[in-house]
Amino acid sequence: MSCSFHLLVSRCSFYHGRFLLIWCRPSLLVRSLSAAPHISRSLKESYRLLQLPDEVHSSPAQVKEAYLRLAKLYHPDSGAATADAALFARVEEAYRSVLAHQSKTKQPDGGKEEEDEDKSRRAALQHRHYLSFDGVGSGTPSQRERQYRQIRVDRASEEVLNYRQKEHERAAASEGALVERDMRQRSHKIKITQAVERLVEDLIQESMARGDFRNLSGAGKPLNKFQHNPYADPMTHNLNRILIDNGYQPPWVVTQRDIREAVAHIRSRLLEGRARLSDPLTPSELSQWEQLCASVEEELVKLNKMVDNYNLIVPMLKMQMVHYSLSREIERAVKGVAQRRLDQQTEREKERERRKEEKKRANAVTKTKKNKQGLMSWMQTLLR
């Protein structure tokens, strides 16, 4: 009986241990499930719609890449065959949901570090105000601002001086007519002129500091210098004025001038060449005209390339130009020659009429003189 009891006890203890084992296993399972991040069914659908592997190993960069890939396929304005506005709206909503979920599941330490970094970036140093105006000047902020403006004007003047000097050197090197001594002398003259202008400006500033200009009628009143544009920056306006006064021109202005000159030259060639030929063209004149048109066509190809370059650098869209066509230019030249010949014929007719009137007037004067002379001779013979 003791053996059976021990056996029963052992069996009971065995079953009890099995029961405990079975009891512990669900607790471990529950603990593992509670440690995993809880994701709703809609969020899982969002991950599936974005074609992401899972929510644990998906980084923000992968989420963004997946969204951009799907946007190229389903965006209504993409022009693709798979474009679908409703599906794209679902993709965008899934993208926002995934981003919101990833922002919530970030590590608290990382968020704290980023927050501390933002606070350190926003913290302003005590000597921060000394870093304004590029560290130029001394005194109050208004005095430092005036000094900084003057330094900017001086820098712009120096840049203009260097630009003009380089342009002179480039022109001299291309033409080959100027020697180095002449270039040095011209650069020296330019520097002297710039130094005189600076001296005059310094004298004006000293006079203003002494109060020599306080007795003027407009002292203390605002300048009406920018009535056309009250929002214009005076510094930018003065810099542009200095550049213009020193001969600087933007590249698009120079290109526009070259285009106008080339067009005028081509049109004058066509007009003069067509005017030298008769109206019904003979075979020899026709060959000459075709040769002229062929040469003009080559020039028009270069001109149209120049127009393309101009359209790329022009600041305003309404100032862009269109290509010049050979047929339009030939038609323009033919009409111009016809109008010129018509004007010449009209002038000849007017000249002919004017000569007739002058001849009639001269004949009338001569006839009147003859009548007077005949009357005087008759009276003289009568008196005799």
Average pLDDT over residues 222-249: 75
The predicted structure's pLDDT at residue 101: 82
The predicted structure's pLDDT at residue 163: 86
Two structure tokens written together for 43: 């969020």
Sign of CA dihedral 188, 191, 193, 199: negative
Ranked by mean pLDDT, which of 55-64, 106-115, 148-157, 235-244 comes out on top? 148-157
Residue 257 CA to residue 310 CA, distance in Å, equals: 10
The predicted structure's pLDDT at residue 305: 95
Two structure tokens written together for 330: 């030939």
The predicted structure's pLDDT at residue 126: 43
The predicted structure's pLDDT at residue 132: 62
Instruction: Please say if the pLDDT value at position 112 is more than 80.
Output: no
The predicted structure's pLDDT at residue 118: 52
The predicted structure's pLDDT at residue 104: 78
Two structure tokens written together for 144: 């430092």
Two structure tokens written together for 381: 């013979």
Instruction: Please say if the pLDDT value at position 272 is more than 70.
Output: yes
The predicted structure's pLDDT at residue 13: 40
The predicted structure's pLDDT at residue 98: 84
Residue 13 CA to residue 21 CA, distance in Å, equals: 12
Residue 258 CA to residue 261 CA, distance in Å, equals: 5
Worst-scoring range by mean pLDDT, 135-144, 237-246, 299-308, 330-339? 135-144
Longest Cα–Cα distance of the chain, Å, equals 207
In order, the DSSP letters of 300-352 are HHHHHHHHHHHHHH-SSGGG------HHHHHHHHHHHHHHHHHHHHHHHHHHH
Question: At what angle are helices 85-104 and 60-74 packed, to 10 degrees?
Answer: 170
The predicted structure's pLDDT at residue 149: 85
Q: Which residue has the higher pLDDT, 271 or 31?
A: 271
Residue 51 CA to residue 68 CA, distance in Å, equals: 12
Which residues, in sequence order, are CB contacts of 258 under 8 Å at separation 6+? 306
The predicted structure's pLDDT at residue 35: 43
Which residues, in sequence order, are CB contacts of 164 under 8 Å at separation 6+? 190, 246, 247, 248
**pLDDT band for position 27 (cuts 50, 70, 90):** very low
Sign of CA dihedral 324, 330, 332, 337: positive
Q: Helices in 211-325 by DSSP H: which ranges? A: 234-245, 251-275, 283-313
Instruction: Please say if the pLDDT value at position 113 is more than 90.
Output: no
Instruction: Please say if the pLDDT value at position 125 is more than 80.
Output: no
What does the pLDDT look like over 49-107, one tens digit per residue?
Answer: 888 876 656 788 888 888 888 888 888 777 778 888 888 888 888 888 888 888 877 55
Residue 237 CA to residue 152 CA, distance in Å, equals: 13
